[in-house]
Amino acid sequence: MKTSGTNTKPERCKLSLFSNITSKKEKKMKRTLTILTTMLTILLFATPLFASGNHSRNLVSATEFDFNYTSIIINASKLEASRAAFPKIMYPDEKVLYGKWTSLNEDDLNFLLGYGIVAYSFTIEEALTNERAGENPLVVEAESLSGPGNWDIVLSEAIADKVRLAALENDLFSSFKVVIVTGGVSSKFKHSHMVCKSKKSD
């Protein structure tokens, strides 16, 4: 009986020691996973904002950002932007955020010309009802215009960063979910105005 007692004691010690080692390994693994998760989260937010170059960017706070935007609506109505087949959306330094197309084959070109890389509207109200807008559009203000015909849209750095992140998170650029509000008077309004004017003259 004594012999069996002396044999079981070392076994118990081994089991206890193994248990302690396993517990320490688990804690170390959990700590490592936590660090890795934190690093990946930081990279996820930082990469889209700094990928375009070594510019000083205003980081978008995750708590203030909605990750379920359905489109980008850019209000350039006060600037009275012109319309074009291939308008560009740019940073203040004219780095292209959207609208830079290279090596298009004939089929792609015909599709883009027919569908349009952006949709246009005359008012915000009209833009919100556009089929491309969806239920939760990100509405931003244009800072200025560029291009030979004032059809390229320039955004502030902070807004451009937010638009870039929203587009990346929701594939908005690849699905052409962009609406530009140009301001001015729609052809429908012009027509009704002309009809009213002609009735008055009669």
Question: For residue 37, what pLDDT is reported?
Answer: 60
Helices 157-170, 2-50: inter-axial angle, 10-degree rounding: 120
Average pLDDT over residues 180-198: 55
Sorted by where each begins, the domain ranges of the chain are 1-51, 64-187
pLDDT at 65: 59
Prediction pTM value: 0.61
DSSP letters, 176-201, are: T-EEEE--S--HHHHHHHHHHHHHHH
pLDDT at 54: 37
- pLDDT exceeds 50 at position 189: no
DSSP characters over 31-52: HHHHHHHHHHHHHHHHHHHHTT
Percent share of the chain, pLDDT over 70:
58
189 and 197 Cβ atoms separated by less than 8 Å: no
Q: Give the C-alpha separation, 119 to 132, whole Å.
A: 8
145-162 pLDDT tens trace = 998 899 999 999 999 999
| Lowest mean pLDDT across 33-47, 67-81, 127-141, 169-183 | 33-47
| pLDDT, tens only, 72-131 | 999 999 998 999 999 999 999 999 999 988 778 888 889 989 999 999 999 999 999 999
Q: Higher-confidence residue: 131 or 199?
A: 131
Q: Nearest 5 degrees, angle CA 180-CA 61-CA 65? A: 45
Q: Give the closest residue to 183 by CA, choosing from 53, 74, 87, 93.
A: 74
Residue 66's pLDDT band (cuts 50, 70, 90) = low
